[in-house]
Structure 1
Amino acid sequence: MNRKNVWLVLLLVSLIFVLAACSGDSEEASEDNAENENTETGEDSGETFTYHFFDASGPGEDINTSETTLGQMFEEETGVNFDIEHIVGDVNQKIGTMIASGEYPTLLNAEQSTDAVIDAGGFIPLNDLIDEYAPNLKEMYGPYLEMMKRDDGNIYVISSGAAHGYKKPANLNQGAWWIKRDVLKELGYPEPKTLDEYFDIIEEYTAANPQIDGADTIGFTALTHDWRFFALSNQPMHLAGYPNDGGALIDMETQEAEVYNDKDITKRWLQKLNEVNDIGLFDQESFTQNYDEYLAKITSGRVVGFFDYRWQVGQALNTLQEDEDPYNDYMGFPVVFDEDVKDQYLDPIGFTASPGIGITVGTPKEDQIRIMKFLDHIAKEETQKLITWGIEGETYEVDEDGRYYRTEEQIEETSKTEFRDNFGFSYFEWGWPRMNGEYADGNAVEPPKQEEVASMMYDEGDNEFLEAYEIETFTGLFSEPDERPWYPAYDAPIETGSEAQLYEQQLDDLMKRKFPEIIFADPGEFDNQWGAYTDEFSSLPKEAYEKVITDFVQNKAKLMESSKE
């Protein structure tokens, strides 16, 4: 081979190596681009991502969602799970520490401190993430997405509960005046309609039963701990025939808000408690016990009656329902001031934009996308059915007409706390994106609201009381709610540092300081104590608060009406 040919061979070999190297670089670059694209869109190949979710909505067992049946299914479908941490101690203090340090969990439900986190810049805006990665969430919430927006036009938290029609519940989940079943049975199944009648029952039973199981009987206890003080201060509103709109009464015609904490209805409520205390029926620990102590007291069987929202006292009542003795449970009544008042304890169709869950600052974009895709997966109707009904053939059945129902065995199993925890009902039913009302096929979102389930949920003990009061369900004594397109008014965003926010804080401080003094005062001193309270109240900027609530109510009502057109 001559020199020229050798040179040509060497040149060809060099070109082959160069082309091979370029091809390798191209493939590597292509793989890099694909990896970058997957990272950007949140699509991953088999890897599992765990995020910290701090839930301030209530106490509970800290758990990773993959330890539940539902959570494991969601992890397999999305590659995402969450370490859920529940609140212990004071909510405001815990969230305040996060704000001060600037260190947040990835996903956060800050409850009543939501506005404070938003004002501190702790949540990221979700608008673009929702638009790009959450079509199911957009479909489920519809016009409610607009209500989630703050004054700056951003959505920071996604709330639980997008209404899709109204279904009257078979069992109570809202406010009621509870009386122990054993009391009702002993006294011949009385039906208290007014506040006076309610306390007459407590007085009669307590007089005949000063002790229960060797311990002093507690006539009436109250929850006042921390932010849950509303369980005592909300009653005047309910007794006067209003739903839970928070700190104001809303005029049905003008849709204007008026605070009631200095009105005759509040005076009438406190005066009744003052009388109840004077005859020894009011729990002396009501203003010192914490939430857990309150729940434990109810489950002890010593308490004759109390007012609360079923969702707030559910842990105690669920425990009592699992007791073999049906008379240890409680029955709720729609008590009002006077018989001509129409009760409004059952919530109308409504939407609450806050609190909710939000993604916090400092979360990398790829993690933001993964979490939003997880939330969008939660918003699918088939996922919603998993969360509320469970698995067909295991926790519910479907008849030939497509109606969902549960067998007696399934009803018993799905009512057990241990099962609900293990399956994931306890952790996914609320707090995440969630529907209310009916699914597209006409089945109720919540099994207890399905007629086929409600009729079979009651045991022999339940039926004894249903028959005694001539009702088919435990909401049978409660009125249907009136339509209130703004409901609930307490969802109005209150700007931190504003006069309206100052009113809320000062009122809370004033009530926590003065209500015990009013209730525990000698009856002859009641008027003086009430006068001292209202004198201080008169200096609070209530007009600023009323204006914020009025503007919110009227704007929300207009938005809801326009969404129907």
Structure 2
Amino acid sequence: MSSKRGKMLLSCLVTVSVLAGCSSGKTAESGDGKAKAADEAQINATGFPIVNEKMTVNAFAAKFFANADWNNIRIWNDYETKTNIHVQWDTVQTDALKEKRNLLLAGNDYPELFYASAFSRSDLLKYGKQGAFIPLNDLIDKYAPNFKALMEKYPIIAKGITMPDGNIYGLPTIYDPEFKSVLYGTPWVKQEWLDNLGLKQPESLDDFYSMLKAFKDNDPNGNGQKDEIGWGAVGTAGIVNYLRGSFGLNTHGTSNINVDTDPETGKVRFIPADPRYKELLQFVNKLYKDGLLEQDIVSVKSTEVDSKGMQGLLGISDSVDPVAIYNQKGYVGLNVLKGPHGDQSYNAFGSPLGNIGMFVLTDKAKNPEAMMRWMDYFYSDEGIKLFFMGWKDETYVEDADGNVEYTEDIKNNPNGLTLDQAVGQYLVWLGGYYPGFVKQKYFKGAEGMPTSIENAKKAEPYALAQDQIWPPFNFTQEEQSELTTIQTDIDAYVLEMKDKFITGNESFDNWDKYVAALQKMGVDRYVAIYASAAERFAKAD
């Protein structure tokens, strides 16, 4: 998950104290959008069980593992015992999610609850406005103390999940802002090659070029062959993103990757038309032209890069620590480089918010108050621990300091199951599709490894502060409708031309023609819509 992320009416600033006041939608059970009192909803306001008389809820969810039957898996069976709420799951593999989800909604055959269904921001607003998705504001205020506390602690959450109509229609995946290595980390360089060639970590772009050239020419693996690849990756996004901060770009992170605030004018700018972006691409083109990047970087398959990685042929990898994916030890995080104008910033990361449409209650929900309590547990420390680790001395062990690890049967499964397969027998978080809170203490993916944590610490002095980060913006229906007609073509054109400029298939002599084409495609209106969103976001503080 390295890979690894808001806005609202100006008159309805989201603070937890006014959540209820922001709610303007209708629900089937409570026509004014307000949550019922606990006695009226026939739930317990706190503690467990949530309801005294067992209730059944029908839910739809996406999952990664075909062999995990959510109607007979430990996590949900145990939680049903705890809550007295039986969830009848209808699940679909993620590759069929969008089609099945849309069919359910189009046919008015949707369930009470959508879980791990990854609704887009535009869909949340669309179905919220139609009344199919109910506003969650008042439900959060009354029945989600754990989620509410996170909103108070990290204001970007409220700002990022609130639609321009003032309503919240979905609960998100949140990456703990304190869990730095799940949010950012520089690419990985093979320290042994630096040592073998007597090189230090690069500090500048010139140093970086010289290091990659030495990797290519000076046989750092000592086998007498020129088989080393300086920068190994699938696609050009990794190298471009790594260098964005070195060229003073993406001053609010990469959640809205093509726009930021120009430090000189204070106005929203379209990054892929900026002169500094051109400079960045020219530098990467030089690396490519001189054979310092994977030469098939635009078209190479991940399996090919993986094969080279496992042979130890990559000087730099832009994925997670190669020990986790290639079984190659000894890689360390690259330095954040100083660019040609003195910029030295690491900007290639987004907000702590993942998908914000991971938990949605529909107008068919018979007891939305109970289900908000049901979900809120998984934003608590106890619930997070259960969700990611399972059960003490069964799926995990805990030392005297509270550190947890999966049991040996999970880590080295006697039946030959991989870690994911072994964990997937009991838990449903595998694959990264879920509403919840990703906490370093309980998350055991590659980003939680000590090397990854060290990498993030190294980048931290140069990383954007959290209050500088923009989450992905939420647009009004009118803005979204207009943006949809121009953004798809513009974004696709930007990606196409990025690769052409880098590989030399398009001359930089044609840069002005490229910018003129963007103008014809409506880039000024694109920027104006984002500027409106940025203004709303700023005024929501």
TM-score, scaled to structure 2: 0.68
What's the offset of the Cα at 1:131?
Answer: 4.7
Q: Counterpart amino acid of 1:154?
A: N
Measured at CA, do residues 381 and 211 of structure 1 come closer, stay the same or move farther in structure 2, by a change above 3 Å?
A: closer
**Can you list the C-alpha shifts for 1:439-487, whole angstroms capped at 9, x where unaligned?**
xxxxx766799xxxx9xx65xxx6xxx9xxxxx9333432434545352
Which residue pairs with 2:186 in the alignment?
A: 176
Q: Counterpart amino acid of 1:372?
A: M
Unmatched tracts of structure 2, length 5 or more: 1-39, 413-417
Q: In structure 1, what is the Cα distance between the partners aligned to 2:98 and 2:302?
A: 15
Which residue pairs with 1:52 in the alignment?
A: 60
Q: Which has the higher contact order (CA 8 A, sep 6+)?
A: 2
Q: Counterpart amino acid of 1:286?
A: I
Q: In structure 2, what is the Cα distance between the partners aligned to 1:195 and 1:180?
A: 18
2:337 is aligned with 1:335: yes
Measured at CA, do residues 261 and 371 of structure 1 come closer, stay the same or move farther in structure 2, by a change above 3 Å?
A: same
Q: In structure 2, what is the Cα distance between the partners aligned to 1:373 and 1:216?
A: 57
Contact 2:133 2:169 in 1 (8 A): yes
1:157-556 equivalence runs, <5 A:
157-161=170-174, 167=178, 169=180, 171=181, 173-188=183-198, 190-209=200-219, 217-224=228-235, 231=238, 234-235=241-242, 237-241=244-248, 242=251, 243-245=253-255, 246-250=257-261, 256-289=267-300, 298-299=309-310, 301-307=312-318, 310=320, 318-320=324-326, 323=327, 325-327=328-330, 329=331, 331-338=333-340, 340-345=342-347, 352=353, 354-359=355-360, 361=362, 364-366=364-366, 371-387=371-387, 394-399=396-401, 404-405=402-403, 417=420, 421=424, 424=427, 426-427=429-430, 431-434=434-437, 458=450, 473-480=454-461, 481-485=463-467, 487-493=469-475, 495=477, 497-521=480-504, 526-556=507-537
Q: Counterpart amino acid of 1:356?
A: G
Q: In structure 2, what is the Cα distance between the partners aligned to 1:119 and 1:135?
A: 27
Secondary structure in 2 aligned to 1:491?
coil
Measured at CA, do residues 50 and 111 of structure 1 come closer, stay the same or move farther in structure 2, by a change above 3 Å?
A: closer
Measured at CA, do residues 149 and 306 of structure 1 come closer, stay the same or move farther in structure 2, by a change above 3 Å?
A: same
Which structure has the greater CA radius of gyration?
1
Measured at CA, do residues 374 and 252 of structure 1 come closer, stay the same or move farther in structure 2, by a change above 3 Å?
A: farther
Which residue pairs with 1:76 in the alignment?
A: 81
Q: In structure 2, what is the Cα distance between the partners aligned to 1:218 and 1:544?
A: 42
Contact 1:421 1:427 in 2 (8 A): yes
Which residue pairs with 1:441 in the alignment?
A: none
Question: What is the aligned residue count?
Answer: 473
Q: In structure 2, what is the Cα distance between the partners aligned to 1:491 and 1:341?
A: 26
Contact 1:518 1:529 in 2 (8 A): no
Q: Counterpart amino acid of 1:87?
A: T
Measured at CA, do residues 115 and 398 of structure 1 come closer, stay the same or move farther in structure 2, by a change above 3 Å?
A: farther
What's the offset of the Cα at 1:515?
Answer: 2.5
What's the offset of the Cα at 1:543?
Answer: 3.4
Measured at CA, do residues 168 and 236 of structure 1 come closer, stay the same or move farther in structure 2, by a change above 3 Å?
A: same
What's the offset of the Cα at 1:508?
Answer: 1.5
Q: Counterpart amino acid of 2:51?
A: E
Q: Counterpart amino acid of 1:239?
A: S
**Can you list the C-alpha shifts for 1:111-165, whole angstroms capped at 9, x where unaligned?**
58442464365744334543554344333334544652212232122112286xx
Q: 2:162 aligns with which of 143, 146, 149?
A: 149
1:11-160 equivalence runs, <5 A:
43=51, 45=53, 51-54=59-62, 63-64=68-69, 70-78=75-83, 79-80=85-86, 85-88=92-95, 106-109=113-116, 111=118, 113-116=120-123, 118-119=125-126, 123-131=133-141, 133-142=143-152, 144-145=157-158, 147-160=160-173
Measured at CA, do residues 413 and 112 of structure 1 come closer, stay the same or move farther in structure 2, by a change above 3 Å?
A: same
Measured at CA, do residues 62 and 416 of structure 1 come closer, stay the same or move farther in structure 2, by a change above 3 Å?
A: closer
Contact 2:240 2:284 in 1 (8 A): no
Measured at CA, do residues 527 and 104 of structure 1 come closer, stay the same or move farther in structure 2, by a change above 3 Å?
A: farther
Coordinate RMSD, CA, aligned? 4.9
Unmatched tracts of structure 1, length 5 or more: 1-35, 437-443, 467-471, 561-565
What's the offset of the Cα at 1:287?
Answer: 3.1
Q: In structure 1, what is the Cα distance between the partners aligned to 2:314 and 2:109?
A: 42
Measured at CA, do residues 61 and 247 of structure 1 come closer, stay the same or move farther in structure 2, by a change above 3 Å?
A: farther
Measured at CA, do residues 431 and 392 of structure 1 come closer, stay the same or move farther in structure 2, by a change above 3 Å?
A: same
